[in-house]
């Protein structure tokens, strides 16, 4: 039930710190990761991982790719299920497939899974719904433990998918006996991320004020970032589009000058993510470029990379996992923009929670 909430979307956004803590509880015992050793063994044999998903789950996969490549040193491709099923790429010799699906029922993903099963490649499904079709038809399943997600716009399943992929990447790294040059204290970092998320959901009035200040009269909003910030930009744009119906686009910050900067007009809101040290200065440069063309910049930064004037600043986390925090204010932004426009936030027009047609 919605309890004291007016909408499932806001309730599910608020639940994210608790979901993250629950995931840690479920996947750790005595500080050790609990994942089926057969699964890890089979994953460790793979020469490439293919992550297949749609919509928000695809965006979670983009973050998962970075985590798996960095922590487990394995090449990863992220594929849109609707494309992949009918246009199989040249596969590697020993591929391993990960399907990401909140519902476990998405027809596009199912179609792709059937193709892969025919080829007898190993399949892992990450899903929120035990016994869903994609869970039953895969060789292995890892659950998201996010609790039922009712709002059409996916929020807690996205952060849960990222968290489970972090844990999986770490477990695979251990299975392969890698000694990372920059180890990740997964359990501790997920705890810190839950705290950061809590502070962000507690500051929701500030996000509502930003919506009133920047989004009231705007018909178009851009989101830019690099690395995980780019992945978050894509998800932030999707969230805003689907519930507020405001036209939104996510771009790689460095691509702006290759064309899209032509779209910037007086007052266009541009939300920029500063999530990593290595590219912070470049993204700051991109922000200056859009501001000098009349855009209004809204900057989301991690404290250590923040500057005076940044509108949303969150606590320092390991750069590899800070997408978990950065997306939360974006979900709230979408929620308040939808509310302002009088939209049905839980049941946006033209959309269904589970897309069971191809």
| Contact footprint for ligand M6R (CB under 6 A) | 54-57, 101-103, 106, 109, 152-154, 242, 351, 354-355
Q: Is 333 exposed, middle or buried (0-12, 13-18, 19+ CB in 10 A)?
A: buried
113/256 with CB nearer ligand M6R: 113
Nearest residue to 154 via CA among 70, 243, 227, 244? 243
Q: Which residue has its beta carbon closest to ligand M6R? A: 55
**CA separation for the pair 265, 156 (Å, rounded):** 34
Is residue 329 within 8 A of residue 312, CB to CB? The reply is yes
Smallest separation (angstroms) from ligand M6R to the CB of 162:
13
Angle at 217 between CA 215 and CA 218, to 5 degrees: 60
Nearest residue to 235 via CA among 216, 246, 249? 249
Smallest separation (angstroms) from ligand M6R to the CB of 354:
6
- Considering the candidates 2, 117, 204, 353, report the single residue annotated as catalytic: 353
**CA separation for the pair 270, 223 (Å, rounded):** 6
Smallest separation (angstroms) from ligand M6R to the CB of 51:
12
57/141 with CB nearer ligand M6R: 57
HEC string of 82-98?
Answer: HHHCCCCCCCCCCEEEE
Smallest separation (angstroms) from ligand M6R to the CB of 70:
24
135/317 with CB nearer ligand M6R: 135
**Is 353 labeled as catalytic in the residue annotation?**
yes
103/198 with CB nearer ligand M6R: 103
**Which residues are CB-neighbours of 149 under 8 A, at least 6 positions away?**
8, 12, 102, 128, 155, 156, 157, 353
Is residue 100 within 8 A of residue 154, CB to CB? The reply is no
**CA separation for the pair 68, 171 (Å, rounded):** 10
106/301 with CB nearer ligand M6R: 106
**Residues labelled as active-site residues:** 353
């Amino acid at each position: 039930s919605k309890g004291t909430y007016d909408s499932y979307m806001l309730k599910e956004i608020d639940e994210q710190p608790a979901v993250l803590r629950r995931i840690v509880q479920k996947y750790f015992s005595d500080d050790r990761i609990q994942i089926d050793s057969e699964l890890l063994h089979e994953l460790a044999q793979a020469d490439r991982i293919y992550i297949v998903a749609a919509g928000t789950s695809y965006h979670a996969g983009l973050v998962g790719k970075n985590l798996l490549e960095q922590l487990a040193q394995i090449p990863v491709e992220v594929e849109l299920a609707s494309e992949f099923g009918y246009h199989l790429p040249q596969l590697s010799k020993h591929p391993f497939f990960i399907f990401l699906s909140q519902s476990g029922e998405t027809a596009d993903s199912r179609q792709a899974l059937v193709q892969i099963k025919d080829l007898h490649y190993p399949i892992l499904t990450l899903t929120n719904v035990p016994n869903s079709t994609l869970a039953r038809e895969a060789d292995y399943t890892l659950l998201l433990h996010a609790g039922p997600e009712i709002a059409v716009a996916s929020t807690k399943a996205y952060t849960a998918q990222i968290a489970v992929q972090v844990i999986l990447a770490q477990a695979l790294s251990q299975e392969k006996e890698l000694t990372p040059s920059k180890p990740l204290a997964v359990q501790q970092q997920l705890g810190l991320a839950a705290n950061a998320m809590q502070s962000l959901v507690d500051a929701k009035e500030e996000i509502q004020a930003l919506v009133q200040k920047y989004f009231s009269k705007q018909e178009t909003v851009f989101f830019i970032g690099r690395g995980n910030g780019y992945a978050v930009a894509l998800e932030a744009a999707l969230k805003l589009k689907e519930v507020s119906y405001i036209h939104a686009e996510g771009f790689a910050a460095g691509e702006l000058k290759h064309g899209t900067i032509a779209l910037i007009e007086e007052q266009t809101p541009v939300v920029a993510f500063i999530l990593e040290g290595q590219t912070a200065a470049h993204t700051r440069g991109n922000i200056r470029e859009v501001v000098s063309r009349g855009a209004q910049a809204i900057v989301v930064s991690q404290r250590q990379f923040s500057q005076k004037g940044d509108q949303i600043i969150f606590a320092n986390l390991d750069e590899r996992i800070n997408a978990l925090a950065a997306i939360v204010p974006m979900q709230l932004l979408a929620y308040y923009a939808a509310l302002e426009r009088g939209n049905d936030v839980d049941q946006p027009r033209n959309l269904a929670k589970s897309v069971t047609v191809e």
